[in-house]
Amino acid sequence: MKKNLQSRLTRYTAAATAVVGAVAGANAQIVYTDVNPDETVDAVNNGGPSFGVLDLNNDEVIDFFVYSIDTTTPTPSTIKTTLVAPYGTLGNAVAGDAPSGYDYAFALTSGTSIDAATAWIVPAAALSMAYNANGAFPFNSYWANGVTDKYLGLKFFLGANAHYGWARLDVTNAGDVFTIKDYAFNATPNTGLLAGQTAGLTENVESTLHFVNQNDNTVKIMLNGLTDGTITLVSASGQTVSTGKTSSDEYIVNLNGLTAGVYVINAEFATGKVTKKVMVH
């Protein structure tokens, strides 16, 4: 569905497409929203503090603010910052730490786990993403010096239940212009997800793997970047015929010498499991 997000406090409007991937068990239900077109927020051109909003579950209740500010102090110093702040429900938090005594939001890479074990900060005000003072980044700003396609780790509450999510952003080299691209959350309470995950984990694995039946009575599995997998061939009676670990970008399942019948290839990774039936003649 298309979703318009507007706030009287902001200039931010996003036409968002929400895609729900329902997968049973630990893979859970991921609700993904594409901000289309991407929303760029610029403190300089807007003439003052400029805000973007994140409403992760699209219920028209703001969960987080992202905003940029340009200020000049009497020193004089020119400060350019992008910040993120939880909003609304008490306990909403952002993944980050405070290495120099100030709260900084992590710039997570795709595939990073976001869950209860993540370092969470519920700040008194906001967490810095980028902090530029007179053209330099004097503190540990994870979004400093131009960051593209990184992720905020986000935790928000619906009633008493915690939900985990992410938002993908760019921050320019100056530190005061950011772009919101998309976001997602796990609709199953108290269940994590991966940064950048847009569907159930098994669904992601299924769309990544490619099974190729070869003329020499083998099946080549193209992994396309998936790592640390276990491939098991099982007979119709449930007997394990062969098993092995992936060590390159492809894996060969040998069907030669097997009794005719139906077999199942189980391809299992940390991010999900896919099964494929094969017939031996």
> What pLDDT was estimated at residue 28?
55
Nearest to 94 by CA among 49, 132, 142: 142
The reply to whether omega before 37 is within 30° of 0 (cis) is yes
Question: What number is the average pLDDT over the span 50-70?
Answer: 90
Final residue before a domain boundary, out of 199, 222, 243? 199
Q: Which of 199, 222, 251 is the last residue of a domain?
A: 199
Residue 186, CA distances (Å) to 22, 153, 156, 198, 201 in order? 10, 12, 11, 10, 11
pLDDT at site 48: 58
pLDDT at 13: 32
User: Do 9 and 60 share a domain, yes or no?
Assistant: yes
Q: Verify that 95 and 173 share a domain, yes or no.
A: yes
To the nearest whole percent, how much of the chain has pLDDT over 70? 87
Domain range for 256 is 202-280
Q: What is the pLDDT of residue 246?
A: 95
What's the CA gap between 104 and 119, in Å, rounded?
A: 11
Please indicate, yes or no, whether residues 133 and 99 belong to a single structural domain of this protein.
Answer: yes
Looking at residue 46, its pLDDT comes to 54
Mean pLDDT highest for which of 14-18, 155-159, 195-199? 155-159
Which pLDDT does position 190 carry in this prediction?
A: 93
What pLDDT sits at residue 47?
54
Asked if residue 163 and residue 92 are part of one domain, the reply reads yes
Domain holding 272: CATH number?
A: 2.60.40.3080
DSSP letters spanning 181-239: EEEEEESSTT--EETT--S-HHHHHHHH-EEEE-TTSEEEEE-TT--S-EEEEEETTS-
33 and 151 in a common domain: yes
Do residues 22 and 120 both lie within one domain?
Answer: yes
pLDDT digits (tens, 9 = 90+) for 90-140: 899 999 999 878 899 999 999 899 999 999 999 888 999 998 888 888 777
At which of 181, 199, 217 does a domain end?
199
Q: Are residues 275 and 174 in the same domain?
A: no
183 and 225 in a common domain: no
- 79 and 183 inside one domain: yes
Dmax over CA atoms of the chain, in Å, equals: 83
Number of independent structural domains in the chain:
2
Flag whether pLDDT at 232 surpasses 70: yes
Q: What is the pLDDT of residue 89?
A: 80
Residue 222 and residue 251 in one domain: yes
